[in-house]
Structure 1
């Protein structure tokens, strides 16, 4: 398969693994004193386990799984608010499929759908726009969720709704941004991080310079990476090379997809439609300043928070985590999923207590599916 098979070449992978081992030995990385590299993106986490890179790589390299799954970092309160919106008789609630099974405090969206709420899975906010056109007597709400990767498409849908003057289309905006939680992690004195593998899809939109502060202010290397096994191995080698040289910087391994300065059309749409929230709550990380986006006043007619009086428009709701569930510690890389007391016991894909077990980018799902943890738990 062209443009994929060449990045899964076993011979190249073996050469990269050998080069990583030499570099790790050169900088004194050992099992007892490993180099901690955080892959920010949940897609990278799944690739690492799918291809067994965690088992093949030098024992002195430890992958730390970061908060790069937008569904996973969503607080339970926001899921509860989605369900409240969806259960209004006048509402057709639309969402990407990844959010359907995320548990709130009493149920998930898929359970609310089974109870009779009109909840529909869509592949694009444009699908939600079309539903609004076809159902002028219903309120169509789109669950705007995700990092900078999905933010532009929601912005373009809002712009289109404004051009058409659609009165029955709104967005429940939960879009979040990547740089701010990285800073929060780096400011945590208990975090042991030596470098980062940067998110490929997010960087396709924002470019590589929003990460400059990681190298300049914190002295940590970061390499924006692709998702194939040799992409990730080459990125690890680049991080180790920076550590050896003592010259932390931002590098772009994924140059075939990621432009240095991002996508100007996407960035313009984001700037037009959104503004920064003063703060936003992240599961496991708490409130992080300027880490969420809200719809600008010029597009207020398309803001579900304002129209339905929900979410941050009326104040943040406190919903405690499930007792014994360590999602926050897993999300911030403090522990591995298998160290959570609920993993494989109270929390499985069928009885998930947290989004990390049901999301396609969740670290717990990766361990369950690829890491041999399922058989161990059973």
Structure 2
């Protein structure tokens, strides 16, 4: 199968492992942050960490869009259903994420709320067409990867005159999060980044160039397959050994320097930057998220329903916020595997298919540790 099987070959993995072992400086510790949750799952699913020398460490980053959504935004969505009687449409990963008081969209649905799982924005638009007497809100989340489909839905709703459709926008931006991690008062020690895959197919590799130069951190845009991750790690190690800090593109079969210009133009047409936005684990980050422009305000659920900002705390003892910024690893959390399981999640990192805690649970790392 093209672009799949050839990136999972055992012999090539062993060759890459040997090259990495020969390239590392035994007197140095290499701390590589994989930004994407998809990379975290690839690392554990295929045993990539086991093929690394002991002085090469993968640090899990905040690249799970469901995980970084603050608790208060979950509570906002539940209020839309309970107080305004809307039909709320959302992706499945978001259904079980705990909000304030451990309430979740799934529990609100069980209590009678009209909350529906959808596969795409087109599903949400169809629900709006089929229910002209009901307000339908699409709970939009994700990085730059899922933002263009939301923009398409807004344009389509405007063209069709769907006055009962709106978007609760929670789209966030990758470079801003990377910057926030390094600018934190007590920053995590990170030597280099495995850059996100799908995000970079939209925004390209160019936005990282100034970042790499300013922070003197090498970045390699990495694909999601195990050989992608290993090759990218080797490229980062070579840069670190040479004292370089440039942006390299390992995922050239999907990512270009300029990115998808059509998608970028569409996002710029529909959205603008928020002055600041709260991230779970990272706090308020300026210019790190998007909102609908004024000319599309009629499709903005926050304006249509006058939604208040809600400050809600995470579950006591849950280390998901620290895990998201790389300060801790899942096995450091005392709740993991005890009261916190996929059936009874305490934090978003155990819920999402891209969450670090879910990766530890799914691929046996919890039992191994």
TM-score bracket, normalised by the shorter chain, equals: over 0.9
Partner of 1:322: 315
Aligned partner of residue 262 in structure 2, secondary structure: helix
Residue number among 260, 267, 275 corresponding to 2:257 in the alignment: 260
Query: Are 1:105 and 2:104 matched, yes or no?
Result: no
Q: Does 1:231 align with 2:228?
A: yes
Alignment of 1:132-171 (within 5 A): 132-171=128-167
Which residue pairs with 1:365 in the alignment?
358
Question: Matched residues in 1 for 2:187 and 2:136: separation?
Answer: 44
Contact 1:86/1:117 (<8 A) preserved: yes
State the TM-score, normalized to the length of structure 2.
Answer: 0.97
Matched, 1:15 2:15: yes
Q: Deviation per CA, 1:127-169, whole angstroms, max 9, x where unpaired?
A: 1111111110000100010000000000010011111111000
- Secondary structure at 1:243 match in 2: helix
Distance in 2 of aligned mates of 1:282 and 1:299 = 24
What's the counterpart of residue 288 of structure 1?
285
Mind listing any 5+ residue stretches in structure 2 that lack a counterpart?
none
Instruction: Identify if the C-alpha distance between structure 1 residues 118 and 375 changes in structure 2 by more than 3 Å, giving closer, same or farther.
Output: farther
Aligned-pair CA distance for 1:85: 1.0
Question: Separation in 2 of the partners of 1:371 and 1:330?
Answer: 18
How far 1:89 sits from its partner (Å)?
5.8
Aligned length: 367
User: Contact between 2:274 and 2:291, CA under 8 Å: does it hold in 1?
Assistant: yes
Give the structure 2 partner of residue 335 of structure 1: 328
Aligned mate of 2:246, from 249, 258, 267: 249
CA 1:3–1:325 in structure 2 vs 1: closer, same or farther (change >3 Å)?
A: same
Instruction: Report matched runs for 1:268-287 at 5 Å.
Output: 268-287=265-284
Q: SS where residue 128 of structure 1 aligns? A: helix
Contact 2:99/2:312, CA 8 A, preserved across alignment: no
Contact 1:195-1:221 within 8 A present in 2 as well:
yes
- Match of 1:39, SS? strand
- Give structure 1 stretches of 5+ with no counterpart: none
Contact 1:214 1:221 in 2 (8 A): no
The runs of 4+ residues in structure 1 deviating greater than 3 Å are: none
2:27 maps to what in 1?
28
The 8 Å contact of residues 137 and 168 in structure 2, kept in 1 or not, is answered as yes
TM-superposed CA distance for 1:101, in Å, is: 0.7
Match of 1:125 in 2: 121
Q: CA RMSD in A?
A: 1.2
